[in-house]
Amino acid sequence: MTLLPTPAKAVSPPRPRARFHVRKQALAGWGFAGPFVAVFALVFLAPIGYALYLSLFRDRLIGGTSFVGLDNYTQALTDARFWEALTRVGLFLAVQVPIMLGIALLVALAIDSGRLYGKGFFRISIFLPYAVPAVVASLMWGFIYGTRFGLVGNINDTFGVSLPDPLSPSLVLASIGNIVTWEFVGYNMLIFYSALKIVPRSLYEAAAIDGAGEWRVVTSVKLPAIRGSLVIATIFSIIGSFQLFNEPSILQKLAPNAITSDFTPNLYTYSLSFSGQQHNYAATVAIVMGVITAIIAYAVQLRGMRKG
């Protein structure tokens, strides 16, 4: 809403006798901005406001709803289950994101190098998993991971080996990382590839004249040129990791003991809200999680952009 006075001022030059005129114009400005402001407030501000409002109360089976101030926040900050979940996605972030972005970058550079046969086919098949809904992808991988009737089971039977169970507690996080990598390599590849496409060809020619080899071109020209895209992809991946939900939620049915109800912060919020009817506390955890995500994403952005 603070946006509004600006356009109004901009279109009405400060003429002393035009007071009525200014008001009319301001109203006209509201007329133009109004629909946007209304929708913006309704779909962006209201839900956040509602979550904040919810987080200040506590609804109990015995005793009903009462105002508790910041109690829910104190509870969340000392909640071992929440921190455990956060540490888990932190570990996921530290391992999975570099691998995924690394692969995506390699593929993008390979396609961009122009030395690939069937470039279009290669590109589309790597991108294709992104078009598969996460729920379907998780179900599919769930079947692959099955040690009794799944692909892993079939391999065990056929070759008489016994592969480790991908859904065992020690491996399940890595298995989820594998699914997420499969889903998002293509997406990130496309971001990098489109950034590479707009690097002026003249830079490569200049580099060639300077005697730079392929590798030198990559490190000195291509990578600096797409730094912005790298930062954006990293931020998206950080947010995605912190919001991990679909994959563990689907696989939970196959591995109910390995994937607990507080496996990721989002899953924890979900079970608090829907199994435990603790909507208020769930809202609090969601807000805390949102703030943490925003801080980390912002820090990465600052650091990434400073170098540039």
- Residues 106 and 261: beta-carbon distance below 8 Å: no
Is residue 147 classed as helix, strand or coil in its secondary structure? coil
When asked if residue 49 is in the footprint of other proteins (CB under 8 A), the reply is no
Q: Which is nearer to other proteins, 101 or 272 (CB)?
A: 272
Cβ 276 to other proteins shortest distance, Å: 5
When asked if residue 149 is in the footprint of other proteins (CB under 8 A), the reply is yes
- Residues 185 and 100: beta-carbon distance below 8 Å: yes
When asked if residue 260 is in the footprint of other proteins (CB under 8 A), the reply is yes
Cβ 176 to other proteins shortest distance, Å: 16
- Give dist(CA 85, CA 265) in Å, integer: 5
When asked if residue 256 is in the footprint of other proteins (CB under 8 A), the reply is yes
- Give dist(CA 244, CA 91) in Å, integer: 12
Cβ 275 to other proteins shortest distance, Å: 4
- Give dist(CA 182, CA 186) in Å, integer: 8
Cβ 188 to other proteins shortest distance, Å: 33
- Burial track 85-120 (b if 16+ CB lie within 10 A, e otherwise): bbebbeebbeebbeebbebbbebbbbbbeeeeeeee
Block residue for tokens 């699914």: 179
Q: Which is nearer to other proteins, 148 or 197 (CB)?
A: 148
Exactly one of 173, 262, 269, 282 binds other proteins (CB under 8 A); that residue is 262
Q: Which of residues 158-197 bind other proteins (CB under 8 A)?
A: 168-169
Structure tokens at 196: 């590479």
Exactly one of 55, 138, 237, 278 binds other proteins (CB under 8 A); that residue is 278
When asked if residue 23 is in the footprint of other proteins (CB under 8 A), the reply is no
What are the residues binding other proteins (CB under 8 A)? Answer: 60-64, 146, 148-149, 168-169, 253-254, 256-258, 260-262, 271, 274-279
